[in-house]
Amino acid sequence: MSLDTLGLSWHDIILLIGSPILAMTVAGARAASILNPLEDVPSDEKFKITYRKFDWILGWIVFGALSGLLVALLFVGAVKEDIGSLGRVLAIAMLSGYLGPQLWNKQEKLIFHLIDRKIKEVLPIAQAEANKQNQPDA
């Protein structure tokens, strides 16, 4: 199977490989820069804190790679065959790696807030109906 049968050019392949790599690199650097070094940590807690840091950075790297891949998939086949347009798309992928995980986190918090508010609206109605059904007829 060749690239021509798939309809991909070399620019598309570079885009599909380079965008996630650049985005996850930027996301990992951003995650590492957010963490503050802990100086006065007991020796028995160092492993737990190191594991949490690793978990935090790895999560940002994965979300950065996914953001870069999404950007690459949006532009596959749409990039002209010159290095300038490829560079602009790779710059967008780097930006998505920088901001993507943070935006996904805010979106998650917003969705949880909306669901929580909807449950609080429905819950008093459901409790009132249950109280009516539980009351004995006089």
Which pLDDT does position 137 carry in this prediction? 58
Kindly report, residue by residue over 34-51, the tens digit of the pLDDT. Answer: 766 555 556 666 666 666
Q: How many CA atoms lie within 13 A of 16 on its CB side?
A: 10
Collapse the DSSP code of 9 into the 3-class scheme (helix H, G, I; strand E, B; otherwise coil) and give the result. Answer: coil
Percent of the chain past pLDDT 90, that is, above it, reads: 1
Q: Does position 6 have pLDDT exceeding 80, yes or no?
A: no
Sign of the CA dihedral 127, 133, 135, 138? positive
Question: Rounded mean pLDDT of the chain?
Answer: 76
Q: Which of 26, 4, 7, 105 is nearest to 71 (CA)?
A: 26
Which pLDDT does position 45 carry in this prediction? 63
Q: Tell me the pTM.
A: 0.61
Integer-rounded Cα Rg, in Å, for the chain is 24
